[in-house]
Amino acid sequence: SWMFWRIAGPSASPSVNEKMETVLFQLRHVTRERDELRKRLALSSPGTTFDDCRPNSKAGHDYERLKLQCMKAMADLQSLQNQHSTTLKRCEEAVKKADFYHTLHSRLASEHTQLKDELEAVRQDNIQLVREHNHVKQACEELRRLREDDQREVADMRMLHQQVPVMREGSPDVLNKLYDTAVDKLDQPADQKTH
């Protein structure tokens, strides 16, 4: 009806309009039956005129009041349906956000595990490098010690050479050559001696 359209507005769904029309139709039908029964009751009673059978203003006011209450209830129903739709939409959006953050959390957790594994691998590599460094350091210390020993041997041989008297029958050139050969061998790097 026009009154319901003005109160509920164009946002009312077709199902709500149909329900409203049905309720109004039933209300009018009940009102007609009531008036018909009043008319029959009045005609069957002695001393009652036809004017007494007409619906009074109070009945008309009751009808309008019930009609307004019905329209208000239907409008409230439509409002609740709108609120329900809005709430349902927000709920769906919240579920989508929850799924998004769950996926994001899973991806970050996977990346964290991967980084943790990579860090452990780097730590193991560092331990291995430290071991190799210590090994090389020990080798260098050993080479330095061997070189110092060789240098001491060379110094001792030089001192011995200076103290050895030159034999009359011997040639000093031959002795010097033997000395130089021994010095050359001792002056070689320690790594060449090992080969």
The pLDDT value given to residue 70: 78
Decide if pLDDT at 140 tops 80: yes
Q: What's the DSSP call for residue 51?
A: G
> What would the 3-class secondary structure string for 155-168 be?
HHHHHHHHHCCCCC
Greater model confidence, 30 or 82: 82
Lowest-confidence region among 62-66, 152-156, 180-184: 180-184
Confidence band of 75 (pLDDT split at 50, 70, 90): confident
The pLDDT value given to residue 180: 72
- Tell me how far apart the alpha carbons of residues 52 and 40 are, in angstroms, rounded to a whole number: 11
Extract the tokens encoding 46: 């002695």
Greater model confidence, 62 or 135: 135
Parse the chain into domains and list their residue ranges: 2-92, 127-194
CA nearest to 8, candidates 59, 60, 76, 55:
76
The pLDDT value given to residue 162: 72
| Percentage of residues in the chain having pLDDT higher than 90 | 28
pLDDT tens for each residue of 3-62: 444 444 444 455 666 777 777 787 777 777 777 777 777 666 555 554 544 555 566 677
pLDDT tens for each residue of 87-98: 889 989 999 999
The pLDDT value given to residue 173: 65
Is 19 in contact with 74 (CB distance < 8 Å)?
A: yes
Is 74 in contact with 20 (CB distance < 8 Å)?
A: yes
The pLDDT value given to residue 6: 43
The pLDDT value given to residue 121: 95
